[in-house]
Structure 1
Amino acid sequence: MVDKEKDHLPRDDYLMRLRSGDLDLSVRREALDWIWKAHAYYGFGPLSLCLSVNYLDRFLSVYQLPKGVSWTVQLLAVACFSLAAKMEEVKVPHSVDLQVGEPRFVFHGKTIQRMELMVLSTLGWKMQALTPCSFIDYFLVKISCEKHAEKSSITRSVQLILNIIKGIDFLEFRYSEIAAAVAISVLKEVPVQEVDKAITDFVIVEKDRVLKCVELIKDLSLNKVGATKNTTYVPQSPIGVLDTGCMSFKSDELTNGSCPNSLHNSPNTKRRKIDGPSNGSSQS
């Protein structure tokens, strides 16, 4: 599973290009802002949100959207969210009904489908992607020396993961490294010497990189990023965050199962659907 991890990561220079301005950071921010709103509206599980971010970052790292064409950002966000929902949720509305939150542009189903196919092709059809959630149970068990990770620990870990993946700082790390750092941060009550021994015994991650990630999480915590400023980053639905009991982790196999969740009613508001770049406020 760790060997496959690199196949599900953005291109190596993605973070550098975002920080240097070579890639427009506002494109990623705008897309994720809408994905977070849509995810909270429908109360989908946490894995569909992680996958949405994964698809978006991998796509943007290898495909640059046309500059100055703002509707493409919205279309890409809808496509990534739709694909992630189809991968993880039991009940998924039609793609046209996923366009909630008064978006600037609303697209026909065929237009969204074409964008989905572009995303699928660009990502090499590798949609069962690994995320930090894929590894979290393994590290919680390793550090706590328990046979199974406690549900409360998984819940706190998932909350922390969702709090940090919207920013770009953690793009520096592999998903397994993030999961290890999150597990250490969550299991604060475990004696320091046991944590240190567990990190030393980690085979699939490098100790120095995990500790660097832990320090970054501490910095974010001190700045109250996860607690106050970014509370909107975590889905507001209790289904979206707390229903982690459906996550069928197996620490010995390092795999994660799907997370079926109930679905809120689809929006019934009628909106003008478009095939191309047209404002949602345009006259019919």
Structure 2
Amino acid sequence: MPLGLQDLLCSEDLESLEHGQSGVGSGFDSDSGSIRNLTNFSFPDDAQEVLARFIETESDNSTRSDYQSRLRSYSFDSFARAYSVSWILKALAHHHFLPVTAYLAVNYMDRFFALHQILEEKDWAMQLLAVTCLSLAMKMEETLIPSLVDLQADCSEFVFEPKTIRRLELLVLASLDWRLRFVTPFSFIEYFAYKADPSGKYARYLVSRAAKIILSALHDINILDHRASSLAAAAIICASDEIQDLAFTNPDTAVAWCSGLTQDKIGSSYQLMKHLAINNNVERKQPVILSQQRVMPGVRFEFASLSSLPTTRKRKREERDTMVT
């Protein structure tokens, strides 16, 4: 079954927030993306200054400019990315990871995939890359870390041995120059929710809904053209569109939320998210597995300029609960 947005996060009911529960919710810590209390919207005096510096550096971990063109022109690359993003979001829902963990994992995958191309059309190789990137991301953000075997439980068509994942982790880390901490939309989302609704009445809903919107946009390669701050602002605006009291919120007013924001960039991100929201009303088709061939130990997979020898085995239907040791 396709993974719906309602499965990615615990849902927030707008009506319940308006009747006794508003203003006492949970949002994302502006630095790490972790959940924290939003009561009274307490922010440091220099919060806007810090976020302005984030905006100045937010492009440091973007992908190469030709990556998007490659995705648009080469069907397997586009499929491989969609397959990997879907796996990461499925694992996010299964393990109840923070939304920022999924965002980081997709960023690591995009940055690695921008530098290295799979030489053969093997969907299991992209799943291995997705598992590896999520493994790195969860170590950055999560407090409860599942084992590498448990990470793949009930989420994977293929199961990879921990030593195989760790080997690819080193390749990914080297390719990313060990730069795993960077600015994401979740660095801004809580503060922007406060700017959109200083009363805090709809705080919990805005943050939760905006997070869902951002995660849904990860499937679309056009998100790579947009900055983290603009995505965060656009997501808060989209969430505000659903609340009559905040209907005045738009890209023009959002520019004042923080120094460095521009109406054009926010507007572009907003249009992308509105377009995706319309398309998401139609049930999303899950990427189809390219090949049903059994992957046996010793099969060689290659990225352009990088080679590895994974030890894998195909999960059997009748052995779905069997763990790889």
TM-score by length of 2: 0.66
What secondary structure is seen at the aligned counterpart in 2 of 1:155? Answer: helix
CA apart distance, 1:87: 1.2
Q: Pick 1 or 2: higher relative contact order, CA cutoff 8 A, min separation 6.
A: 1
Distance 1:147 1:204, change over 3 A: farther
Match of residue 197, structure 2, among 132, 135, 144: 144
Q: Which runs of 5+ in 2 are unaligned?
A: 1-53, 287-295, 299-308, 317-323
Distance 1:146 1:92, change over 3 A: same
Distance 1:204 1:104, change over 3 A: same
The structure where strand makes up a greater share of residues is: 2
Matched, 1:229 2:303: no
Matched, 1:160 2:213: yes
Distance 1:231 1:103, change over 3 A: closer
Distance 1:89 1:192, change over 3 A: same
Aligned ranges for residues 13-162 of structure 1 at < 5 Å? 13-21=66-74, 24-101=77-154, 103-146=156-199, 150-162=203-215
What secondary structure is seen at the aligned counterpart in 2 of 1:141? Answer: helix
- Which ranges of 4 or more aligned residues in structure 1 deviate by more than 4 Å? 145-149, 272-275
TM-score by length of 1: 0.74
C-alpha distance in 1 between matches for 2:114 and 2:102: 18
Q: Which runs of 5+ in 1 are unaligned?
A: 233-271
Aligned twin of 1:207: 263
Distance 1:193 1:115, change over 3 A: closer
Work out the number of aligned pairs and report it. Answer: 243
What secondary structure is seen at the aligned counterpart in 1 of 2:169? Answer: helix
CA apart distance, 1:55: 1.1
C-alpha distance in 1 between matches for 2:266 and 2:139: 32
Aligned twin of 2:310: 276
CA apart distance, 1:228: 5.2
CA apart distance, 1:174: 0.9
Equivalent pairs: percent with the same residue?
35
Distance 1:93 1:147, change over 3 A: closer
CA apart distance, 1:146: 4.9
The residue type equivalent to 1:117 in the other structure is: L
CA apart distance, 1:43: 1.7
Question: What is the root-mean-square deviation of aligned Cα atoms in Å?
Answer: 3.1
Match of residue 62, structure 2, among 6, 9, 21: 9
Match of residue 197, structure 1, among 218, 235, 253: 253
What secondary structure is seen at the aligned counterpart in 2 of 1:96? Answer: helix
Distance 1:157 1:276, change over 3 A: same
